[in-house]
Amino acid sequence: MSKLVIPTIEVSGDRRELGRQHGEAAREQIRESIAYYQQSVKRITGLDWTEIRRNAPRWVAPVEDYLPGISDEVRGIAEGASVEFEDVLALNARGELSTHNPFADDANEGCSSFAILPQATGDGHVYCGQNWDWRCETFGTVVLLRITQPGKPTIVMQTEAGQVGRHGANSAGIALNANGLGTRWGKGIGVPQPMIRRKILESADMQSALSAIFDARPSLCTNLLVTHRDGFAIDIESTPDRHGWMYPTDGLLVHTNHFIAFVPEQVAATYRPFSVNSLWRLPRLTDGLRKVKATSGSSATRDAIGAALRDHFGYPDSVCKHGNERSIGTDRNQTITSSIVDLTTGEYRITAGSPCESEYRLLPWNLYDEVAPQSRAAVAEAVSVGSD
């Protein structure tokens, strides 16, 4: 197998400049992503991209009210990539567009996430991460971003090119991992998930991070797992209305793609998990991560976490997910990256593709470095994080 690479991109400055640097460095990936979603959204929802572009500006008011200035960053991305603002705005609402028509009056992303606190690890560190399960066709659009903004924590995150937020951690020791819950209700345009996740990742403390969740009015139900390097983690099942939450048990917190803390009353009478394999991925990953406590030293701890994330029970719809050709009603999903983040040391490791086929490679940035160790001139250096 040829060596896989995920581009690493460093951006800094005000929001417009952040976006412009992002767009210039990931121009090819952004255009590839737009081309993919033009076809994918049409297949799934029947919406033509011209209709999406016409309606996309309806997101501007809610996102600006929620995270002022973020539309400037989106405009900067569009300028840097030489595409239309509406195209990039639609990319940031791809979750809303991937399963339904968000502009209708009535109107899924997989993933297995975890947090492990010191009492459950072999080295006394705090770990978090996830298997990011998404469309097989999107792997080539994934980028790794290091974002430096005046007065805000530095962010390291993995995202689809052109999106302002997804999964990652920051220099304040706060990490975010997320899973789709496949349910929505209500009317109107909500705040797209990338904006909510970006606001969490810009937070300097837990108060701000949780406020970013509870102050948002999303249109999708999404699970958000927030971990702090001081040994705290909370899982929040967010909905357009009320939220549910859970804390670690014996230092371990795991979530997949179904409601666990509660089932919202809006869907309780008819609720069925959108991804039935979530029902076995949860206990399989939980059982695998329980073995981490018996390890000795950080290397062995990471190996045990990686082994849990490579679990193939129920293959291809396993914790380590592979595209299932029998999937109906959506494009095929696979694990496109897997991450293990040591919030104690600031080391961020990731695979390119599924963890059973790729090694976890250490990123060139430590979360707690004030200055990135590589030259800022190498803004979009493609660093191999795959395997031969």
- Domain assignments of the chain as residue spans, ordered by start: 104-368
pLDDT level of residue 105 (50, 70, 90 thresholds): very low
pLDDT at 108 over 80: no
Q: Given a cut of 70, is residue 39 above it in pLDDT? A: yes
Q: Which tops the pLDDT comparison, 252 or 383?
A: 252
Which residue shows structure tokens 């072999």? 122
Per-residue pLDDT band at 274 (split at 50, 70, 90): confident
Whether residue 223 has pLDDT greater than 80: yes
Please state whether 97 falls in left (phi above 0), alpha (psi between -120 and 50) or beta.
alpha
Residues in the chain: 388
SS3 202: coil
- Interatomic CA distance for residues 239 and 243, integer angstroms: 6
C-alpha 235/C-alpha 239 separation (Å) is 13
HSE on the CB side for 316, CA within 13 Å?
13
Q: Give me the mean pLDDT over the 223-252 stretch.
A: 97
Residues of the chain with pLDDT > 70, as a percent, come to 89
**How far is 342 from 347, CA to CA, in rounded Å?**
5
Instruction: Return d(Cα 126, Cα 339) in angstroms, integer.
Output: 14
pLDDT, the chain, mean: 89
Phi and psi at 349, nearest 5°, equal -120, 145
pLDDT beyond 60 at 11:
yes
The pLDDT of 291-299, averaged and rounded, is 97
CATH class of the 104-368 domain in this structure? alpha beta
| Distance from C-alpha of 144 to C-alpha of 259, rounded to nearest angstrom | 29
Percent of the chain with pLDDT over 90: 76
Give the least confident one: 30-44, 101-115, 251-265: 101-115
Which pLDDT score is estimated for 327?
Answer: 56
pLDDT for the residue 364: 94
Four-residue CA torsion sign, 368, 370, 375, 381 = positive
> Average pLDDT in the 123-135 region?
96
Please tell me the predicted confidence (pLDDT) of residue 47: 82
pLDDT given at position 380:
35
If one compares 223 and 110, the residue with the highest pLDDT of the two is: 223
Contact 113, 254 (CB under 8 A): yes
Which range is least confidently modeled, 100-104, 331-335, 374-378? 374-378
pLDDT band for position 5 (cuts 50, 70, 90): confident
Residue located via tokens 């804390």: 247
The predicted-structure confidence for 363-376, as pLDDT tens digits, reads as follows: 999 999 976 555 33
Alpha helix stretches (DSSP H) within the chain: 15-25, 27-45, 49-55, 60-66, 70-81, 85-91, 94-97, 193-201, 206-214, 278-290, 298-309
Instruction: Check pLDDT > 50 for residue 135.
Output: yes
